[in-house]
Amino acid sequence: MDPIRASDGSAGDVDYQPIGTVYNDYRLADSRIAAAVHKALGGAQTVLNIGAGTGSYEPLDRIVTAVEPSATMRARRPAHLVPAIDAAAENLPFDDGVFDAAMGTFTVHQWGDVHRGLEEVRRVTRGPVALLTCDPTLLRDWWLWEYAPEVINVEISRFPAIDTLVAGLGGDATVQRVPIPLNCTDGFNDAYYGRPEMLLDVRARLACSSWSLVDPTVAAQATKRLRDALSDGSWDAKHGHLRRQPTLLGALVLVVGRP
Domain positions in the chain are 16-258
Which residues of the chain have a pLDDT value below 70?
Answer: 1-24
CA 68/CA 86 separation, integer angstroms: 5
How far does Cα 257 stand from its chain's mean position? 18
163 phi and psi angles, rounded to 5 deg: -60, -35
Return the pLDDT at 25. 83
Rounded to two decimals, what is the model's pTM? Answer: 0.89
Nearest Cα to 144, choosing from 33, 219, 254, 231? 219
How far does Cα 130 stand from its chain's mean position? 12
Return the pLDDT at 206. 87
Return the pLDDT at 3. 47
Contact status, residue 117 vs residue 92, Cβ threshold 8 Å: no
Q: What's the farthest any 2 CA atoms get from each other in the chain?
A: 59
Alpha helices in the chain (DSSP H): 16-26, 31-40, 71-75, 114-124, 144-147, 149-158, 162-169, 202-206, 216-231, 234-239
Return the pLDDT at 171. 87
Query: Which CATH fold topology does 16-258 show?
Result: Rossmann fold (3.40.50)
